[in-house]
Amino acid sequence: MLIGGYGFSDVHINRALRNRLILPGVRPPVMVLDLASDRVDPMAFRHDLWAYELGETLGTGSNFFFEPGHSSPPMPCELVTRGAFEVSQPHRVALWHGGFIEATTRLDGIVPWLGGGPDEVLHPSGMSLK
């Protein structure tokens, strides 16, 4: 599931997304394309309405987001510089903070990840993290 440019502020859309994600069976991966300012905190430290509604809608907790291969919460502005993602591995939710059009530079990772590939395909160098 690819979500681009959505602010998670419409209760009807949020409910429809949530209902799709709680269906029995395999949960689809969710990629959210966003444009974050240079001052945005990692999801683990965000307490704004967008982060809260995203977590509620997609069934994630904000503390589960990391850059693949790293153990500390990533700064979104640094992720943007490297072409990297903030990922909630247990929930299969990835956040791209670099803007909708700019996400096309990372189709090499986005498409395989949405197809069920491992989180490592989102690493900007394309190299294995293991």
Asked whether residue 130 is assigned to any structural domain, the reply reads no
> pTM for the complete prediction?
0.89
Helix, coil or strand: residue 87: strand
Domains of the chain: total: 1
pLDDT at 127 over 50: no
The tens digit of pLDDT for each residue in 51-101 reads 999 999 999 877 789 888 888 888 999 999 999 999 998 899 999 999 999
Can you give the residue range of the structural domain that contains 67?
A: 2-122
pLDDT of residue 126: 53
* Contact (Cβ atoms closer than 8 angstroms) between residue 33 and residue 85: no
Contact 112, 121 (CB under 8 A): yes
Cα–chain center distance at 63: 13
pLDDT digits (tens, 9 = 90+) for 11-47: 999 999 999 998 888 889 999 999 998 899 999 898 8
Does residue 33 fall inside a structural domain?
A: yes
